[in-house]
Amino acid sequence: MNFLLERDAPFSKSIIWKLQRDYFEERGFDAWRSGEVPHYVTSNPRIAHAYAQMLVATYLDLVRSGFTNEQPLHIVELGGGSGRFAFYLLKQLEQLSKQHDIPPDSFKYILTDFTQANLDFWKVHPCLQTYIQDGRLDMAIYDTSDSSSIPLQIGGHEIQEGSLTLPIAVIANYLFDGIPHELYFFDRGESHRCHVKVNCEFDYLSGNSTAGEVLSGTYLRYRKEDSADESSGDAHVDALLSHYRNHLLNGYVLVPDLGFACIQRLQALSTSGILLLVSDKGHVTTEECFVSTPPSLARHGSFSLPVNFDAFRWYFESNGGSAFLPQPHHESIVTACYCSFDAPVATYHLANAYANHVGVCGPDDFFGVYTLLRDHPHLLELQHILSALRVSLFDCHQLNVFLPKLIELAPDFSQSEKKVVSQVLEQCWYNYFPLGENNDPISKMANLFYEIDEYPRAIHFFELSLSLYGKDQGTLYNLAACYFQSGSLEKSVKILQEILEAGYYPEADVLLKRCQAALMEQSTILI
């Protein structure tokens, strides 16, 4: 079946954007828990480290340029999604602030999204409690379409126009690729706005399909307006279109008109400017942004489009600001830094931080190497995995990927290797931000602790796994084996009996007999 969803609408007004919003509202936290919306590339300790470096650098530049820090530097994350990135960034900021002797309350992090369900999840997440309680973290609903203030749900006050005296720092990861854009077709110095017709395999109007299902079955057909554009109604967009027309390039180009409007609204909250850090997939140079066919939607639960990083560069530079962009040929994401400060600020530290942590080798390179290792575990020896985990800054997600290989290698570890592995496990655990995903590292970590003879830690992790994921016979058996190895025979017997009462489990039967024999031997010695 094929249903007509929309006959003809300007691209930025299409029904697809409403479906996108409905998708995030509908799925809430499950979008991340299920892995439907990819987020590892923008939510790992390494990318957070690069951002922390740029934020600390900005802080140092502002102090050097005479800004007084009566207020903290406010960092507003838009479309915060799972909250994992915020957790990593807060940790990295804490460490870097110590290294630079910056007081910990110099930064205030505001985690935002447009769905209350996400905020409700973050508010009670155990990993975020310390930051909430000491006031370093607050949360707010912020809708990039129209919010003009930030009402803080924990602090209770509202950040309004002119509230902030330091520049506002804004983070937008995987956000601009999924909010409305305008689409133009350029031909011989003329620009034409594009419209879409949307068909769908699902009957949206019947109300029997979810937004996710409808999105997965949509087909777009594009139409260019016959007459060339005169005015879009937005001065910034008009100036960009005129700039592009002067380039005499031909093809389709996405224009982030809503992105521009959102930056203006956020910038108005501060009396001294804005720093914008963005990671997304997209195009960096003007030439790359012009494509010969209309964009197709990349689908992953929600959908996304390539971000026009060049348009943001143009926006900032034409308003007296600066842009830091990577060399072309990035594979998965582009990390860009834009700033516009109202007073002269020497961006010496920021430029260095960008060059060192993004320009030379950045989040995209890190992700590229990670995927290579992830896809070839058979080539890895212990030292490769340890190096990968150190480079990842002890990322629990990566550990999870390498755990089966580590468990396989464990019987051959030397004593000193066991010690190093144990330390690395603890460091990764420190970075663990649970989302309740199915493929959780906890029981695998417990197995590895068992293999390296760290029975108390193994017991702790098996018990954690049982309390979080419910009773599993295999996990119970492993727990009993740990108790047996650490000499807690009665505890082992109790668990093994529980397993056998539930059904046939030959290994449990064998271990129970060994436990009973050992207990008998102990009582004979005592007599």
Ligand X SMILES: C[S@@+](CC[C@H](N)C(=O)[O-])C[C@H]1O[C@@H](n2cnc3c(N)ncnc32)[C@H](O)[C@@H]1O
Which residues lie near ligand X (CB under 6 A)?
21, 24, 37, 39, 42-43, 78-81, 85, 113-115, 118, 142-145, 173-175, 178-179, 302
Closer of 6 and 77 to ligand X (Cβ): 77
Best CA proximity match to 253, nearest among 194, 329, 167: 194
Closer of 174 and 244 to ligand X (Cβ): 174
How many other C-beta atoms lie within 10 A of the C-beta of residue 289?
22
One-letter amino acid identity for 405?
K
Contact (Cβ atoms closer than 8 angstroms) between residue 176 and residue 256: yes
Min separation Cβ 283 and ligand X, Å: 18
Min separation Cβ 301 and ligand X, Å: 9
For Cα atoms 519, 524, 527, give the angle at the middle one, nearest 5 degrees.
130
Closer of 178 and 306 to ligand X (Cβ): 178
Min separation Cβ 396 and ligand X, Å: 16
Min separation Cβ 198 and ligand X, Å: 19
CA terminus-to-terminus distance, the chain? 82
Integer Cα distance of 362 and 371 in angstroms: 15
Min separation Cβ 401 and ligand X, Å: 18
Min separation Cβ 43 and ligand X, Å: 5
Distances (CA, A) of 486 to 388, 462, 489, 515, 518: 32, 14, 8, 12, 13
Best CA proximity match to 398, nearest among 370, 378, 376: 370
Closer of 121 and 338 to ligand X (Cβ): 121
Name the percent of the chain in helix, strand, coil, to the closest 5: 50, 20, 30
Closer of 80 and 282 to ligand X (Cβ): 80
Closer of 170 and 409 to ligand X (Cβ): 170
Min separation Cβ 316 and ligand X, Å: 21
Instruction: Give the SS3 label for residue 244.
Output: helix
**CB-based burial, 28-67: b 16+ in 10 Å, e otherwise:** bbebbbebebbbbbbbbbbbbbbbbbbbbbbbbbbeeeeb
Where on the phi/psi map is residue 312: left (φ > 0), alpha (ψ -120 to 50), or beta? Answer: alpha
Residues 6+ apart with CB under 8 A from 30: 36
Min separation Cβ 286 and ligand X, Å: 26
Min separation Cβ 35 and ligand X, Å: 11
Min separation Cβ 67 and ligand X, Å: 28
Closer of 275 and 448 to ligand X (Cβ): 275
Which element (helix H / strand E) includes 443? helix 442-451
Report the DSSP pairing between strands 3-10 and 190-200: antiparallel
Min separation Cβ 173 and ligand X, Å: 4
φ and ψ at residue 123, rounded to 5 degrees? -60, -30
Closer of 23 and 59 to ligand X (Cβ): 23
Distances (CA, A) of 160 to 26, 73, 138, 148: 29, 15, 15, 7
Min separation Cβ 153 and ligand X, Å: 15
Tokens linked to 360: 């030379």
Closer of 301 and 441 to ligand X (Cβ): 301
Closer of 393 and 496 to ligand X (Cβ): 393
Closer of 21 and 357 to ligand X (Cβ): 21
Closer of 142 and 354 to ligand X (Cβ): 142
Tokens linked to 234: 């937005």
Which element (helix H / strand E) includes 168? strand 168-173
How many other C-beta atoms lie within 10 A of the C-beta of residue 247?
12
Tokens linked to 218: 């949509």
Residues 6+ apart with CB under 8 A from 331: 364, 367, 368
